[in-house]
Structure 1
Amino acid sequence: MYINNKLTEDLLLGEIYYLISKTYFFIENIQKAINFAFLAKSEFEKVYNKKAYAKSLELLAEEHAKVGDLESAIAYSKQSLNVYKELEQLDKISSIEDSLGKLFFEFDNIEESFEHYNRAIKIREENTDSKLLDTLFNLCENHIKTKNMNKCIEILNEIKNKLNVSDVNRLIEYKILTFRIEVLQNNIKEAENILLDTLEIAKRNDMKKKEADISIRLGKFYLELKRDYEAAKYLDKGINNLKNLGVIKS
């Protein structure tokens, strides 16, 4: 019982530290935000140790069963099961690990950010969680920041293989990331075609806010290329859409 209560306590404390870190981040007290993010990390590491503990109990049960000590085998199995039941809360942890990855990204601590994203990925892969794609998107942002284009392309290919084309929001996010990679690699025509195609997807699915955002991105893209006519056309279209949505005032 102590082990189970302690596990829940570690989870709760880790979540509280994470929320405090996020609060300090929003009010721009970055140092305190970083301090509490590391405290959250410390609590979650305790939980991962419990997973190893549960596995060791399971192995003890197997060993006692082999030598015919069924009473001890059953006792260890029950203890192991109780810990595993508590560890079902790892789904919640994966979301917080993903968010901690974002926070450390904002702190410019890319090494820590990678560590938390990789933990979230491991949990989400084990649980076949559809939110795995979101963490892969975030991981790709890290590689863009570190200018590791090859790794980012590798992750984009993984996303492409896992992506359901009916998941339009994630499809658009995938295409915008692909567009950014093409721009960074100076593949201008390919980048343009990707963004125009993404705009059409948003239009077909009546995603007005996405359509506005992509139009503005396209306008800025043309502006960089000094293609003033296209830049004005898409910037105007995007701004008008945002006005119609009430996002910006006339």
Structure 2
Amino acid sequence: MADIITFANKKGGSGKTSTVLNVGAVLGSKGNRVLLVDLDPQAHLSYWSGVNTYDTYKNIYSVIHGDYSSSEAVTTTEHGLYDIIPASTHFSHKDLKQIIDGRQVEGKLAKALIDVKDKYDIILIDTPPTVAVLTLNALVASRHVLIPVLLNFLAIEGLAQLAQNIYRINMAHNPDLRIMGIIPNQYDLRSNHARRVVSELNENFGEDMISPRIRHDIKVAEAPEARLPINLYAPKSRGAMDFSILADYVMGKINESAGVKT
């Protein structure tokens, strides 16, 4: 049964989509069966994965509505490193109303993913910075949370509040939910400011909670234009190296939580 990991941060531009896609691709290259779930109505993860987001197609919102099963909405990527259930840029107020109507609103995604959990080893969920009910659904469906964060003090200002929200969801809806780590993203080795922010993260959250960093690399920014993950677009780049190390960290945490010795 798949381990489900949500990537969350209420601040836009934190690198959630890039991290989900590139970690997923590396995990897939290492022999894992990986599914990505795009909950963000911007659908950047879907576009980067080769989905024509201007078309009409089976998407995660219609799956949550119950129009069809999650298995029916799975799209296989051309490179084959992962599958994806895409988002749709046509997400509307009507879609939101259908999600929030009825009972146990927060558990609709968890219920929808039951159909695919046995078909994959790992499911990674990309969440929007807005539409809180979608992120709530993702966290209720997940066992782990990873939090990508840009290395400036304004970007980390809301981390304590996010951690508190995750704790509340753990208490009220999902007792299995745990923070897997905070990911320092776009790290500039030459920046004293970035080093101070990492020091602040270590002090406030503990070194064990800080994952391997992702250094700033223009190749990562170029990869979406080619619609390829960084390990295929620029396999010898710093970004490819860093995401490979991060993927190993993720697998180590999954094995640790399962009691598997490595």
TM-score relative to the length of structure 2: 0.29
The structure whose residues are more often strand, as a share, is 2
TM-score relative to the length of structure 1: 0.30
Larger Rg: 1
Quick one: higher RCO (CA 8 Å, sep 6+), 1 or 2?
2
